[in-house]
Structure 1
Amino acid sequence: MPDYKLLHNKIYAKIKSAEKILLTTHEKPDIDAVGSVCAFIEILENLGKPYFAYCYDAPPRQFNFIPHIEKIKSDKNLYNFNEFDLIIIFDAGGMKRTRLDEEIINKNKNQFVIEIDHHPKIEEFSDLELRIASASSTTEIIYDFFKLNNIKINKNTANCILAGILADSGNFIFPATSDKTIDISSQMLVRGANLPAIMKNTLHNKSLSALKIWGKAMARIKINKNYNFAYTVLTWEDAAGVNEEDLEGISNFLGNLHGVKGVLLLREQPGGTIRGSLRSSHPSANMTLLAQVLGGGGHAKASGFTIAGKLEKTAKGWRVI
């Protein structure tokens, strides 16, 4: 078993000795990803370290309550990858999801890559890895980083960590939620996290157009009785004008469907691809195995994948072409 305290200490030593640092996460970032990056921005600014925070997709506007989020940029032209001697990747679940895979593969010998994640490992690409697949979220691991390196958690950091934990634990209902998850969340409240603001911006924030799309997804639900598995679809036209986080919420909500082993949401993307989201609350179901067959990954109860194709409605139902 890895010595996690030693890993946390090694990462902090690397940060303190680095000249210039790149912070990044996965495309279409969720709150756990953004919260992790922003918590580290707080560290780097307090240390006076030069850094750049990059994400392929700009974070959704409803994440604007998270401290430092405005410092995450999505324009590659604003930086030169080769300028950084330390690259820290958060919550990515795999190198390709950063959209920096080509740069990482071709990095020079003076560049060091650190990966901090709670997703199961699917590939080897970092020089130093801090992975705890049993954690509820990457922000839960970030809390340990602060604690084990004796870094003070202020109000900004507390908001970043609590927001990430609440989002990735499904407000404490997902299986990875533990007594530690609850304890950390309680401590973040003591340190100044604003729970009402977090809940307002993450749970009570659905627009009318978003709820109408949720209605379309629910109206199309079918159950495959052979596999006891539910599925539904959203076309590109269905989802026009609605942001990613609104749509992700559909998958989590459908995962509450009683009496099935799992739920699949197929959603058309621009460029001729389809994104699949798998959710389950069934005790024996492992969505990761199915997602990996289709080139994706994730967690046992929440996974995803992307395939080439389009959705077509036929007399027998929907199909991928």
Structure 2
Amino acid sequence: MSTFDEIYKKIEEYPTIILHRHTSPDPDALGSQAGLARSLKKKFPAKKILCAGENDEGDLVWINHMDPVTKADYQGALVITTDTGNTARIANKLYDCGDFLIKIDHHPDVEPYAEMSYVDDAAPAASQIVADFLYAENLPVDKAVAYPLYAGIVGDTGRFMYPETTEHTFNVVAKLTATGINITEIARNISDVTFEQAKLQASVMEYMQVDPSGAAYAILTQKTLHKLGVNSEQASCTVSSPGRIKDVIAWNVFVEKEDGTFRVHYRSKGPVINELAAKHDGGGHALASGANAADMAEVKQIFAELVEVTKKYNEDHE
């Protein structure tokens, strides 16, 4: 693994730097990308620094928006990915058209795809790693930089409730908060949903099926989404809903996309599920991951695998 100093020296070398994050972004993907980009722009005003993606920020556009990027921009450019464990999930496939690739991430390094990387899978958020990098290298961290980084940390720690949250996490957010960012506004932006999304959250409970093992699932079809006036990206607000039920230990939320395939959300209160997600063009954390399903047959297979893992977890914890 590379050091912060090595990454900084590489950044100094390039006049153009293009930052990528993962598809279907969450606050940490957008926050780590935006925080790093904004700090580098302040430090190196003569460099061209761009945020690349697929314009799929959805309800999270308040964190950051993407820049128009063409293939020509990658000529002789440094490319940095944040919060993206594998190449299949990198938003905007031009990422490999640059001169050099750096990976900054906190997912298990199952695909070491970059020429230089800093991966800490014990960190609760990529945004925390980026903040550590900025402070270690004395790079600018003002309100504009701190705002998306704080949002990313809040998002990926589940508002500081997940077990990866440490004393160091609170030390970092204390520094970010000291810049004067409006943490109440960030919390509200992350938690607020539209009336249509609230109806969809309620419908998840109606559609949810629970196995005796404690594994559960809900399928949100395009028909349901259209009926409630919600798109596939907005449906991500439902992912945490099944976890509010005491007897649910692990769960899937399957969201049908317009092409008939499914975005698969995995969440867990104990059973490790990122290895399951990796089998289905996905990945993530031990207790929170994402994947894809081509059709209903794969949906059924995914839930069957979740049931087996949940049963094994129950046996090991009797």
TM-score by length of 1: 0.85
Equivalent residue number for residue 88 of structure 2: 96
Number of positions where the alignment pairs a residue of Structure 1 with one of Structure 2: 296
Q: Is the 8 A contact 1:56 1:98 kept in 2?
A: no
Q: Which consecutive residues of structure 1, in runs of 5 or more, have no partner in the other structure?
A: 312-317
Deviation (angstroms), 1:309? 1.2
Q: Which runs of 5+ in 2 are unaligned?
A: 298-302, 305-318
Alpha-carbon distance in 1 for matches of 2:233, 2:264: 15
Normalization by structure 2: what TM-score? 0.86
Cα distance per residue 1:42-97 (max 9 Å; x no partner): 22322121122111233224432x3xx24x13x55x45254242000111221111
CA distance in 2, matches of 1:82, 1:303: 30
Q: Structure 1's 84 and 56: CA in aligned 2 closer, same or farther, altered over 3 A? A: farther
Q: Distance in 1 between matches of 2:20 and 2:112?
A: 17
Q: Are the structure 2 counterparts of residues 122 and 304 from structure 1 closer, same or farther at C-alpha, using a change threshold of 3 Å? A: same
Output aligned runs, 1:139-150, within 5 Å: 139-150=127-138
What do the CA deviations read for 1:157-204 (whole angstroms, capped 9, x no partner)? 11121111001111011222112112211221112121111012111x
Q: Which residue of 2 aligns with 1:52?
A: 50
Q: Percent identity?
A: 26
CA distance in structure 2 between the partners assigned to 1:139 and 1:194 by the alignment:
17
Whole-angstrom distance in 2 between the partners of 1:130 and 1:62: 26
Following superposition, the deviation at residue 264 of structure 1 comes to: 1.0
Runs of 4+ in 1 over 3 A off after TM superposition: 99-103, 243-246
Q: Secondary structure at the match of 2:109?
A: coil
Conservation of the 8 A alpha-carbon contact between 1:291 and 1:297? yes
Contact 1:272 1:310 in 2 (8 A): no
Structure 1 distance, partners of 2:15, 2:28, is 26
Deviations 1:198-235 (A, max 9, x none): 012111x211100111111111111111x331111100
- Aligned partners of 2:190, 2:148: CA distance in 1, in Å? 13
Asked whether 1:219 is paired with 2:211, we answer: no
CA contact (8 A) 1:231 1:265 kept: yes
Relative to its length, the structure with more helix (as a share) is 2
Name the counterpart of 2:196: 209
Change (3 A) 1:18 1:150: same
Q: Structure 1 165/244 Cα, relative in aligned 2: closer, same or farther at 3 Å?
A: farther
Question: 2:240 aligns to what SS in structure 1?
Answer: helix
1:29 to 15, 25, 31: 25
Q: Is 1:87 aligned with 2:87?
A: no
Q: 2:168 matched to 1:180?
A: yes
RMSD: 2.3
